């Protein structure tokens, strides 16, 4: 008699925070995924990601956000379970994503846990979303985005929004986080959606 072994089907999202400015975006994604789904949250923080995180986010908020994390990995743990295609996860979100990480993803250089899990996700047909943080962009940055997109990576640029009439940085952050959730097909109310010319309809 043959035994059939199935790989683990734990529903999980993987979020990686790299060393670009905007680490609050990654933490907010962690919070919202935990609030809106029943899935496990795995978090990777790179060495420089930690530097920026400590600089940009106060200790109290950082500790609060980390309570939503079910699994934590450092970026050099290439022997981690999530580095294998036999571990099931729904999607990988790299937010914020440095230009170095974007370049490695674009050129399939899986030398860190972050870039390895992206490679795994792409080869297994799972969703990958990156939130690159840099401006202005040079031609190579743009080419790397194009190469990554051609590999199947979804790119969410954290641009400013005006039609939502943001009141503060939190509103701007929520808009970016909401766009990531939109890409994942998760319903939310983080930003006001455009409903046509509301002014003319009320006249």
**How confident is residue 184, by pLDDT bands cut at 50, 70 and 90?**
very high
Grouping H, G, I as helix, E, B as strand and the rest as coil, residue 40 is strand
Separation CA 149–CA 143 (nearest Å): 10
pTM of the model: 0.91
Token pair 């983080």: residue: 190
- Mean pLDDT taken over the chain: 92
pLDDT at 195: 82
Q: What is the mean pLDDT of residues 52-57?
A: 96
In total, the chain counts a number of residues equal to 203
Question: For 82, phi and psi rounded to 5 degrees?
Answer: -75, -5
Token pair 């943001």: residue: 166
Does residue 3 register a pLDDT over 50?
A: no
Domain ranges of the chain: 12-202
Q: What is the mean pLDDT of residues 109-113?
A: 97
How far apart, in Å, do the first and last CA atoms of the chain sit? Answer: 74
pLDDT tens-digit map of 16-47: 999 999 999 999 999 999 999 999 999 999 99
* Residue 192 per-residue DSSP state: P
Q: What is the mean pLDDT of residues 96-122?
A: 98
pLDDT tens-digit map of 66-87: 999 999 999 999 999 999 999 9
The tokens for 193 are 């959606």
pLDDT tens-digit map of 112-135: 999 999 999 999 999 999 999 999
* Angle between the N-to-C axes of helices 99-106 and 139-151, in degrees from 0 to 180, rounded to the nearest 10: 50
* C-beta separation of 121 from 91 below 8 A: yes
The CATH architecture that domain 12-202 belongs to is 3-Layer(aba) Sandwich (3.40)
**How confident is residue 172, by pLDDT bands cut at 50, 70 and 90?**
very high
Q: Within 10 Å of residue 131's Cβ, how many Cβ atoms? A: 24
């Amino acid at each position: 008699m043959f035994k059939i072994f199935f790989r683990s089907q734990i529903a999980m999202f993987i979020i990686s925070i790299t060393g670009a400015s905007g680490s609050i975006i990654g933490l907010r994604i962690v919070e919202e995924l935990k609030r809106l789904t029943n899935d496990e949250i795995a978090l990777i923080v790179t060495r420089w990601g930690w530097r920026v995180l400590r600089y940009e986010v106060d200790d109290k908020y950082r500790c609060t956000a980390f309570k939503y994390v079910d699994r934590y990995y450092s970026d050099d743990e290439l022997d981690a379970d999530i580095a294998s295609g036999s571990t099931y996860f729904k999607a990988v979100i790299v937010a914020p994503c440095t230009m170095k990480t974007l370049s490695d993803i674009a050129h399939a250089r899986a030398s860190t846990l972050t870039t390895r899990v992206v490679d795994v996700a792409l080869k297994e047909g799972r969703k990958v979303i990156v939130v690159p943080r840099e401006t202005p962009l040079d031609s190579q940055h743009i080419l790397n985005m194009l190469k990554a997109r051609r590999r199947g990576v979804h790119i969410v640029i954290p641009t400013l929004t005006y039609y939502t009439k943001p009141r503060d940085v939190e509103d701007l952050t929520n808009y970016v986080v909401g766009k990531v959730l939109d890409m994942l097909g998760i319903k939310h109310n983080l930003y006001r959606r455009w409903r046509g010319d509301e002014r003319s309809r009320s006249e």
